[in-house]
A and B are shown apart, each in its own frame.
Chain A
Amino acid sequence: AQRVTQPEKLLSVFKGAPVELKCNYSYSGSPELFWYVQYSRQRLQLLLRHISRESIKGFTADLNKGETSFHLKKPFAQEEDSAMYYCALAGINDYKLSFGAGTTVTVRA
């Protein structure tokens, strides 16, 4: 069974400080990992996916298969980063996208 764990429900950081959202997963094969984001009064949308290996809005995430983690990081948080973030996992040849419980990030001025 596949499972995604986001241990932090709430995360509060000051503007300009680094921010890291933790995501751990369990899956027997090689999964694809994603981060989705929902800003206030906006739709849930894709932030980034590990196979793209790109930085979006200053965020990066590295898949660590040894630690089964896919933490999301940004070196200098901005107020517009305040949002709900979901980590998600897709199994190979599987229709299902499994989401974590989500982390609410608040960036304070």
Chain B
Amino acid sequence: DVKVTQSSRYLVKRTGEKVFLECVQDMDHENMFWYRQDPGLGLRLIYFSYDVKMKEKGDIPEGYSVSREKKERFSLILESASTNQTSMYLCASSSGQILSGANVLTFGAGSRLTVL
């Protein structure tokens, strides 16, 4: 019954390493999102995509990039990991030809990244 799958639940990386976080959804959703979740800050949008090969910056894109080569897959890339990127990363998807914040999000289980 899993609909949004994040490949890694826990990762530990070193400063400067390149990190890939993978997300796959099986609901044929057009829209996919990457958020980071931090205590006291809530969820902050990093990047989103409304179509294959399309991407848009969210509120905190610095230090991150994304890739969406196939509709079902949305990858978050940390080119050079830093300690301030230690966080829980949540992938989400939503349906709808019109990209709207009102579309209900389906979330993955999260990937907890620790950068040493």
Contact = CB atoms under 8 A, between A and B. Distances in A.
A95 B100 contact: yes
Interface residues of A, number: 24
Given A96-B45, A100-B42, A102-B42, A90 B107 contact: no
Given A43-B109, A45-B107, A97-B105, A9 B99 contact: no
Contacts of B101: 32, 89-91, 94-98
Interface size classification for chain B: 20 to 34
B45 A90 contact: no
Nearest to A33: B102
B60 interface: no
A9 B41 CA distance: 10
Contacts of A101: 40-42
Interface in B84-116: 90, 92, 99-102, 104-105, 107-110
Interface of A: 4, 6, 9, 32, 36, 43-46, 49, 86, 89-91, 93-102
Interface of B: 4, 31, 35, 39-45, 48, 50, 56, 58, 90, 92, 99-102, 104-105, 107-110
Please provide the 3 A-B residue pairs with the shortest distance between their CB atoms, ordered closest to farther: A90-B101, A97-B101, A99-B43
